[in-house]
Amino acid sequence: MNTKNRIYLSLGSNLVNKFENLENALNKLQMHFLIDKISSIYETPPWGVEDQPSFYNQCIGAFTDKKPHEVIQITQNIEKDIGKKTLYKWGPRQIDIDLLLYNDLIVDDSHLKVPHPNMHERAFVLIPLSDIACDEIHPILNLSVGKLSEKYNDVSFKIVKS
């Protein structure tokens, strides 16, 4: 397997068995990507729509030979396999897998935006991502993940699993 491309993914779940959903997603992702970094799992409050259960969030780092659009297709298929049904934007879900970074690539088309367009505004992404990718540079903002996460130093998420 050619594994020249570095990717970072964010995983989140707030329905049914949250921990099991993340484990299931991780197992399925390992069939497609060479995962070498896994953050702690954090319990986080919902973002966007607050009237829903808390989330379990984590980030992973991996290598792949897939192109960005292929990565998205794989993650969407995994979400579907696990049972994701989006009821409404930012609503509850069994699993959500977002492509955060793909090397230092910038993609902006109707199907994909990389880096993830909201990652720098979300503590539930930046805190677990800084566990595994503190020195990675956001290719648009030209700031490290560690620097971007500093604004959330006062945020205290419960670690569910290290």
Q: What pLDDT is attached to residue 132?
A: 98
Radius of gyration of the chain (CA): 15
Q: What pLDDT is attached to residue 90?
A: 66
At what angle are helices 68-82 and 18-29 packed, to 10 degrees?
140
Q: Which contiguous run of DSSP H or E holds residue 28?
A: helix 18-29
Of these ranges, 53-67, 89-103, 148-162, the one predicted with the greatest mean pLDDT is: 53-67
Q: What does the pLDDT average to over 117-129?
A: 96
**24-62 burial: b if 16+ Cβ within 10 Å, else e:** bbbebbeebbebeebbbbbbbebbeeeebeebbbbbbbb
Q: What pLDDT is attached to residue 84?
A: 75
- Residue 58's nearest CA partner among 86, 87, 95 is 95
> What confidence tier does 87 reach under pLDDT thresholds 50, 70, 90?
low
Q: What does the pLDDT average to over 133-162?
A: 95
101/119 Cα distance (integer angstroms): 9
% of the chain with per-residue pLDDT over 90:
82
Q: What pLDDT is attached to residue 49?
A: 80
- Residue 133's nearest CA partner among 91, 92, 86, 100 is 100
pLDDT of 152 over the 70 cut: yes
**Structural domains in the chain, sorted by start:** 5-161 (3.30.70.560)
> What confidence tier does 157 reach under pLDDT thresholds 50, 70, 90?
very high
